[in-house]
């Protein structure tokens, strides 16, 4: 049930930093914070949707 969050750039799993009632997301691969509007949130069953999203992005590129 716990959500996982992934970097929209490199698809690595993000580290969730909880602070002052809000959450921040940090990509250890990009070494940068990711906005909550940009993170990819999926559970394990939907892991394939990350690849689908990636494919859509490359098609529109
Ligand atoms: Zn990243």
- Predicted model pTM: 0.61
Domains of the chain with bracketed CATH: 4-60 (2.10.290.10)
List the chain pLDDT tens, one digit each, 61 residues.
Answer: 577 899 999 999 999 988 778 888 999 999 999 998 899 987 655 556 556 666 666 666 6
C-alpha of residue 41 to centroid of ligand 1, in Å: 14
Which pLDDT does position 23 carry in this prediction?
Answer: 83
C-alpha of residue 1 to centroid of ligand 1, in Å: 23
Residue 28 CB contacts under 8 Å (≥ 6 apart), including other chains: 12, 15
C-alpha of residue 51 to centroid of ligand 1, in Å: 15
Q: Which of 48, 24, 53 is nearest to 36 (CA)?
A: 24
Which pLDDT does position 21 carry in this prediction?
Answer: 80
């Amino acid at each position: 049930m716990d959500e996982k969050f992934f970097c929209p750039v490199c698809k690595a799993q993000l580290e969730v930093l909880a602070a002052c009632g809000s959450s921040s997301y940090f990509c250890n691969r990009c070494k940068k914070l990711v906005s909550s509007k940009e993170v990819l949130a999926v559970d394990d069953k939907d892991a394939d949707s990350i690849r689908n999203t990636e494919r859509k992005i490359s098609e529109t590129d």
